[in-house]
Amino acid sequence: MDLKYTYSDPEVFIMETEIRKKPSFLLIGLILVIMAVIAFVVYYSIMEMRSTSKKMTEISAEYGFAKYEKTKLPKSITTDSTFLSLFKEKAYLQSRVEMAETDSVYLTINLQDRVINVEISGVVVHSTSINEIEASKIITDGDEFVITSLLSAPLTIVSDTSSIAKIPLIMKVAPKDTSEFKPDAIPDTAFYEPVNYIFETDRGIKIIVYQSEEISQGDSKNRFMFDLRHRLINAKAAMKDILAFKVPEYQLFIKIKIPSADAKIIYRAIPKYGQIGVYR
């Protein structure tokens, strides 16, 4: 037997209709939001990928084979392993000689031997092993001839960001007379502060140094927050370009982890606008 329902009250019928429509509007709105988010993520990813290829194109145009055309070398030689090995050695030595002539303290980073040195006039005055290395794919996997050409001259530091002071500041109150004079107290060698810093260089390569060991309980958090601030600054700049429909600037970087004590020595030894030589 068929049952039929009728609405005797028009207001009840209207309320039932509104209840059916309300979930539909919410579902459509949710779907539109999800689609908008997916579209933006895809757009952001495409722009990020384009930034990598754009950067490689710019580097190739400035440091590619065209720079060496006057030497009358055949272009095919840029893929010869023997030539590239010798070219890399020459580029690194050329960079070190140029820095040695400045009579200033400078830094050399050998990614192959995993060693970082503080040098002056060609003499190593401090050396430490690198525990961990991470670098931009352009530097590690890019055209070897082009990247070697890029690194054939020293990188000059244009600015830095650090979790420690460049020069420790000690406040002293001068005594009124000899009766108030007190000899300096023995320095507190137990004082400890996390060491993380970034060197911005003139060729757009960031040298990022983190301490490798966990000396105190908050070290990993300090490093995470330092790295997060750096990433947020980069993301903000990239987002600004992307929203303006511009390809964002790709950031080249070399990130290393070394012992805290060595990291502090290196940061304070290198002049404000010091130079860095890199062997990849």
pLDDT of residue 118: 97
Cα–Cα distance measured from residue 209 to residue 201, given in angstroms and rounded to the nearest whole number: 14
Q: Quick one: DSSP state of residue 160?
A: E
Decide if 80 is inside a domain: yes
How many structural domains are present in the chain? Answer: 1
> Can you name the residues that pair with 133 across neighbouring β-strands?
256
Decide if 272 is inside a domain: yes
pLDDT (tens place) for every residue of the chain, 280 residues total: 454 545 455 555 455 555 555 567 788 888 888 888 888 788 777 877 788 888 888 898 888 877 666 666 777 787 888 989 999 999 999 999 999 998 899 999 999 999 999 999 999 999 999 999 999 999 998 889 999 999 999 999 999 999 998 876 555 566 665 655 565 555 444 557 899 999 999 999 999 999 999 888 888 889 999 999 988 888 888 888 888 888 888 889 999 999 999 999 999 999 989 999 999 8
pLDDT of residue 78: 78
Asked if 268 and 167 count as a contact pair (C-beta separation under 8 A), the reply is yes
Range of the domain at 144: 47-168+193-279
- What is the token pair recorded at 151? 């690194």
Decide if 187 is inside a domain: no
pLDDT of residue 248: 84
pLDDT tens digits, 90-147: 999 999 999 999 889 999 999 999 999 999 999 999 999 999 999 999 999 888 999 9
Residue type, 115: V
Decide if 219 is inside a domain: yes
The long-range contacts involving 91-95, CB below 8 angstroms and separated by at least 24 positions, are: 91/148, 91/149, 91/151, 91/152, 92/151, 92/277, 92/278, 92/279, 94/152, 94/153, 95/151, 95/152, 95/153, 95/154, 95/277, 95/278
Decide if 198 is inside a domain: yes
Best CA proximity match to 150, nearest among 91, 102, 100: 91
Best CA proximity match to 241, nearest among 55, 51, 53: 51
What's the CATH code of the domain at 263?
2.40.440.10
Decide if 99 is inside a domain: yes
pLDDT of residue 127: 96
Decide if 53 is inside a domain: yes
Decide if 228 is inside a domain: yes
